[in-house]
Copies of this chain bind each other. A is one copy, B any other.
């Protein structure tokens, strides 16, 4: 049978992807819904959830670890590192060269077929370290 991926590039899917790619803030499904809504007022939150889930499954986007309570997403599937402020909860990207070698090591130890990895640093951001300055 033809067409194994079976995914269609609908307007909703495209806009969700575009909005996600446009920010570096690792939005939650609801945050994304709010911004997508400005372009597609009739889109539903359910559709956003469904698409994020499907695309994450297909590896087109990345589901990142819980910074807080909610699930967050990232359009950059390439391995990259995050840093989270334990005080204000902000999550930022960190331009640190990923250590791919680690994946080989992890594969050897675990027997898993490694597809990627991600790293999150925890700490207190400059603003929260010095409240007066903020």
Contacts and interface: CB of A to CB of B under 8 A. Distances in A.
Interface of A: 63-66, 69, 71, 81, 83, 85-86, 92, 94-96, 99, 102-103, 105-107, 109-126, 129
Q: Which of A71, A92, A119 has the most CB of B within 10 A?
A: A119
Copies of this chain, tallied across the complex: 2
Contacts of A117: 119-122
Given A66-B63, A66-B65, A99-B99, A94 B109 contact: yes
A123 B121 CA distance: 21
Contacts of A107: 123
A13 to B, nearest CB: 21
A118 B116 contact: no
B119 A102 contact: yes
Contacts of A124: 112-113, 115
Contacts of A122: 114-118
Contacts of A69: 71
A129 B63 CA distance: 22
12 contacts: A63-B66, A65-B66, A66-B66, A83-B112, A86-B115, A96-B109, A103-B121, A106-B123, A111-B126, A113-B123, A114-B121, A118-B120
